[in-house]
Amino acid sequence: MEDIQKRQRHIEDRVFLIDVLEREGHITLEEQAALRFERKQLAYQMERQTSLLLKARN
């Protein structure tokens, strides 16, 4: 679970950074694509973790 929290924090930090870069006029297409990928990876990791926890309960 700690790994998920670290990844969530990393994503939040990336969102903030992208927002700042956009306000300064930078093109952030690559950063946004990387962020989408990281969010998908996080969702997959959370789904996998939840599945394992549910299996352990049964």
Q: What is the pLDDT of residues 2-51, one digit of tens each?
A: 899 999 999 999 999 999 999 999 999 999 999 999 999 999 999 999 99
Residue 29's pLDDT is 98
Residue 44, domain extent: 2-57
Total tally of structural domains belonging to the chain? 1
* Cα distance between residue 43 and residue 4, in whole Å: 9
CB 49 within 8 A of CB 4: yes
Is the pLDDT confidence value at 58 over 90? no
pTM over 0.85: no
| Residue 25 backbone class (left: φ over 0; alpha: ψ -120 to 50; beta: rest) | left
Quote the tokens at residue 4: 């998920």
- Could you tell me if 35 and 7 are in contact, meaning their C-beta atoms sit under 8 angstroms apart? no
Does pLDDT of 1 surpass 80? no
